[in-house]
Structure 1
Amino acid sequence: MIATVDINYKCWVYCIKFAAIHQHLFMKILFFSAKPYDIITFNQHNATYGFELEYLETHLGPHIVNAVDEGTYAVCVFVNDNLTGEVIDVLAAKGVKVIALRCAGFNNIDLAAAKKHGITVCRVPAYSPEAVAEHAVAMLLTLNRKTHKAYNRVREQNFSLNGLLGFNMHGKTVGVIATGRIGKAFCKIMLGFGCKVLAFDLYKDQELIAAGVDYISFEEVLQQADIISLHCPLTPESHHLINKETLGLMKHGATLINTSRGALIDTHAVIAALKTGRLAYLGIDVYEQEDRLFFKDLSGSIIEDDTIQRLMSFPNVLVTGHQAFFTEDALAQIAETTLNNIRQLSEGIAPDAAVVVKV
């Protein structure tokens, strides 16, 4: 009798699980800007969700939006997909209910158009903030100690130290612009180096204050910091936050790191600051016009963007191609959070408040 009840219970649990997955079997998610690592990670995590997944390598924009099939439940997009009002109009006509960002930022979406059509926009508000913070530190150390140049030298049997002089991180003043999850992780690492950490944010983090971080005004951070790292979102207010005027407030010979959004920096103003020595080092993982370049292999092409070419010509500039998020841990969190966001929305469950983007 006990064995029969146990078998029946297991069958009942199996049926419940099968039904939960089965309801998603014909619910289609169309991915744009999909790379091989996206496909592998999302396919692995979809095993427990059962969505129908389709992947396109091209970015989403007016040129491809009509390829979206009628009845597609969700489109999943990344940082360089361009969801204008025109694109969203077509998505709505196709029956799309959800725009799922597999990133935190949403400056590339016309939110008013999405609201007009009743399309929900969801995102991944945090995915391994340590991944981005650690990459910012890696860029800083590479620029300072010139390990990238040393690596190439030694491979050519050149063991000279000339031109590789750096400085101690210990005791330097580091300015952090915005102390959300990524900025907070960066602050903790810099405190571990023995740096004095100054921060600017509209909301002061009490844990960071207790750890020794001093919150001061934005202008004071620029004036006092030897190293400045940007960790704020891109909004109309923060567009070109670093410009000719704010660069003029910085110490001569300062270091600037940006792993947030390219348009936080006025690139032409930064080039001018590099030429005068106002900036001694620049590390950027993001770029204003990156949608034309990043996530693509252009090694056999002529890059027509003279600005990025000028930047890369400086020996004291380090550019990486939006790589900061790129760890196994972060990819797993992105996939799991994105699929769970869509599942909850499809079942009428309100996701976490930070997940749904509102106008």
Structure 2
Amino acid sequence: MIGAREDEKQFADKWAKENNVEVGLTNEVLNEETYHLLKTFDGLSLQQTMGISNDIYIQLSKDGFRQIAQRSAGIDMYNLDVAKENNILITNVPAYSPNSVAEFAVGSVLNYLRHTKLINKRVTNHNFSWDKSILSKEVRELTIGILGTGRIGQLTVEMLKGFGATLIGYDLYKNKSLEAILTYEDNFNTFLASCDVISIHMPLTEENYHLFNEETFTKMKPGSILINASRGAIVNTNDLIKALDSNQLASCALDTYENEMPFVTKYFNNKSINDPVLEELIQRDDVIYTPHIAFYTEIAVTNLVSGALDSCLAILNGERPQTIVNL
């Protein structure tokens, strides 16, 4: 397991014992300098956040490797075509715990409505007063838009419905099981203009890169809230900041940031992060930023490890699991 974290070890050891397979772990990412670590192994499971060079795909094929099992749903860090050209099958874990991300998205709505960040800051400064700046709305007053109604989007809808919110969905592929509790809007601009809150639940594609940009923000309901626990590059961060500055957006909750790769999972111990945009997001009162941890629960980590290793073992045994993304 490449890019393994300490919290994954117990689940990897359990899987190895149950399947009578040796699993080696390293916290290094895969690149030209670390490639030598693969020499004694037959299969690969990666927790890759940065891309790998074309030369590595070529070398993997020469050395007899047939697969890469990514321990996440997202696979935008891989060149699927180059991998396929070199007979490297890439798998993901598409549904490790939709509940974890859905719960986080709902929690983000509540954190904003109840002004959690601002109140914590005030209390730290011994400000225990009540005033209009922390007066809250209730979820049942809101129209909430769910952009993407797959596994995670569906659970987010079901949870928010329990609070009494009015729910609107936008998805090119409608989820029929939600039709009783959610209204689909076919026009994206109308969807944008109708929602007090928009929560993004879609994978990153070439088509939706920077889907939320200056033009999109101007079409959103003034004073609305954006939640992104999906992929960072769906949002143009500089345009987002402009929308916040102009009060077109009241707030946003970002669990993903388009330039997060050099930072996420690392501890800088109060040292400079050398990214003024990310630093501004962290410091703003109208932004709740978290380092891509919406998924991060014990159940999710267990399923990510076992799901990736299951796919790895299946391919090594000559099978074709449904988790292959580049057939």
What TM bracket, shorter-length normalisation? Answer: over 0.9
Match of 2:24 among 54, 57, 66: 54
Q: Would you say the 8 A contact 1:200–1:218 is kept in 2? A: yes
Q: Aligned residue for 1:68?
A: 37
Q: Aligned residue for 1:327?
A: 297
Letter in structure 1 aligned against 2:143: T
How far residue 152 of structure 1 moved from its aligned partner, in angstroms, is: 5.2
Q: CA RMSD in A?
A: 1.8
Letter in structure 2 aligned against 1:212: L
Letter in structure 2 aligned against 1:302: S
Secondary structure of 1:170 counterpart? helix
1:290-301 matches, cutoff 5 A? 290-301=260-271
Q: Aligned residue for 2:56?
A: 87
Q: Aligned residue for 2:274?
A: 304
Q: Residues of 2 paired with 1:106 and 1:330: CA distance? A: 17
Q: Aligned residue for 1:280?
A: 250
Q: Residues of 2 paired with 1:68 and 1:105: CA distance? A: 24
Q: Residues of 2 paired with 1:32 and 1:297: CA distance? A: 19
Deviations 1:47-81 (A, max 9, x none): 211222222223223443x3233353222122514
Deviations 1:125-168 (A, max 9, x none): 11110100111111221122122443454466542233322211
Are 1:197 and 2:137 an aligned pair? Answer: no
Q: Residues of 2 paired with 1:235 and 1:87: CA distance? A: 23
Match of 2:183 among 213, 233, 254: 213
How far residue 328 of structure 1 moved from its aligned partner, in angstroms, is: 1.1
Deviations 1:265-307 (A, max 9, x none): 0011001111101110110101111110110111232110111
Q: Aligned residue for 1:184?
A: 154
1:144-155 matches, cutoff 5 A? 144-151=113-120, 153-154=122-123
Letter in structure 2 aligned against 1:261: R
Q: Aligned residue for 2:104?
A: 135
Higher relative contact order (CA 8 A, sep 6+): 2
Using the size of structure 1 for normalisation, the TM-score is 0.86
Letter in structure 2 aligned against 1:47: K
Deviates more, 1:197-206 or 1:139-148: 139-148
Question: 5+ residue gaps in structure 1?
Answer: 1-30
Q: Residues of 1 paired with 2:4 and 2:144: CA distance? A: 36
Distance 1:271 1:152, change over 3 A: closer
Letter in structure 1 aligned against 2:177: E
Are 1:161 and 2:101 an aligned pair? Answer: no
Q: Residues of 2 paired with 1:338 and 1:286: CA distance? A: 22
Distance 1:241 1:63, change over 3 A: farther
Distance 1:175 1:79, change over 3 A: farther
Q: Aligned residue for 1:44?
A: 14
Q: Residues of 2 paired with 1:268 and 1:142: CA distance? A: 23
Q: Would you say the 8 A contact 1:32–1:81 is kept in 2? A: no
Q: Residues of 1 paired with 2:285 and 2:119: CA distance? A: 13
Q: Would you say the 8 A contact 1:198–1:216 is kept in 2? A: no
Q: Residues of 2 paired with 1:70 and 1:79: CA distance? A: 18
Distance 1:275 1:151, change over 3 A: closer
**Fraction of identical pairs, as percent:** 31
Q: Residues of 1 paired with 2:142 and 2:293: CA distance? A: 26
Letter in structure 1 aligned against 2:289: V
Q: Residues of 1 paired with 2:320 and 2:48: CA distance? A: 24
Q: Would you say the 8 A contact 2:45–2:309 is kept in 1? A: no
Using the size of structure 2 for normalisation, the TM-score is 0.94
Q: How many residues align?
A: 326
Secondary structure of 1:350 counterpart? coil
Q: Residues of 1 paired with 2:283 and 2:21: CA distance? A: 46
Q: Residues of 2 paired with 1:61 and 1:280: CA distance? A: 41
Letter in structure 2 aligned against 1:201: D
Computing the radius of gyration over CA atoms, which structure comes out larger, 1 or 2?
A: 1
Q: Aligned residue for 2:84?
A: 115
Secondary structure of 2:44 counterpart? strand
Secondary structure of 1:256 counterpart? strand
Secondary structure of 1:43 counterpart? helix
Match of 1:258 among 228, 231, 245: 228
Question: 5+ residue gaps in structure 2?
Answer: none
Q: Would you say the 8 A contact 1:73–1:98 is kept in 2? A: no
Q: Residues of 2 paired with 1:242 and 1:139: CA distance? A: 19
